Amino acid sequence: DIVMTQSPDSLAVSLGERATINCKSSQSVLYSSNNKNYLAWYQHKPGQPPKLLIYWASTRESGVPDRFSGSGSGTDFTLTINSLQAEDVALYYCQQYYNTFHTFGQGTKLEIK
Amino acid sequence: EVQLVESGGGLVQPGGSLRLSCAASGFIFSDYVMTWVRQAPGKGLEWVANIREDGSLKYHAGSVEGRFTISRDNAKNSLSLQMNSLRAEDTAVYYCARAGKGTAIDYWGQGTLVTVSS
């Protein structure tokens, strides 16, 4: 199985500042035939289902504010949230869908400082 | 509007069985890979199983392999998860989900709680 490791486990950022969450896969999730990284980011708030933010490592899902962006390739990826808003407090997960077992990272808890 | 509605959760004793169902609407069900994901209390998301569009291929996480079976009925727009030999560590909210963006999950149900306890 591909192991996904996120860092940090928790993060406190001031309103209006930038939050950065990292995700590292135990093997590359870049599919050479189409040059796509099979990596997604989700936001999960208590009492709600998770929400897709980013897929193909950097493509923003429709309706997701442009302060959310994804970057990286191969084994190292980053979710960046610019100008942090109060409603961004949540757990954030990366997930690889490169192989048949679509493993998630352990999650990063984002709070307001 | 895409809707995924889970049912079948509840309290079951260790070693028991439970069958979860998911009713899908608002999209062409047979065009999509479907997924079950769970979240145990205080834990992160765990991918449980996938099933291909026509049901020909199924994949299960190692933690449930041999005990859980994912299935679908495209005629009824329905996804199922048969859970046997349940353990306390299977206690979780189980989400039915659609894999729509290259099999990234683009829609989720609200989840159904399964509690395994004596």
pLDDT digit string (tens) for B36-66? Answer: 999 999 999 999 999 999 999 999 999 999 9
- A10-38 pLDDT, tens per residue? 999 999 999 999 999 999 999 999 999 99
Interfacial A residues in 37-56 facing B (CB < 8 Å): 38, 40, 42, 44, 49-52, 55-56
Nearest CA in chain A to B35: A102
The closest of A74, A33, A32 to A57, measured between CA atoms, is A74
The closest of A45, A51, A38, A44 to B108, measured between CA atoms, is A51
pLDDT at residue B96 is higher than 80: yes
Rounded CA gap, A47 and A44, in Å? 9
Residue B45 has its nearest CB partner, among A38, A55, A93, at: A93
A52 and B99: CB-CB below 8 Å? no
- Structure-derived torsion over alpha carbons of residues A73, A75, A76, A80, reported in degrees to the nearest 10: 60
CB contacts, 8 Å: B59 with chain A: 100-101
> What is residue B31's three-state secondary structure?
helix
Answer whether A54's CB lies under 8 Å from A41's CB: yes
Question: For chain B, give me the number of helices (H) and strands (E)?
Answer: 0, 11
Distance from CA of B106 to the nearest CA of A (A): 6
Mean pLDDT of A53-76: 97
B55 Cβ neighbours under 8 A, 6+ residues apart: B71, B72, B74
pLDDT at residue B100 is higher than 90: no
B15: which 2 tokens?
């070693």
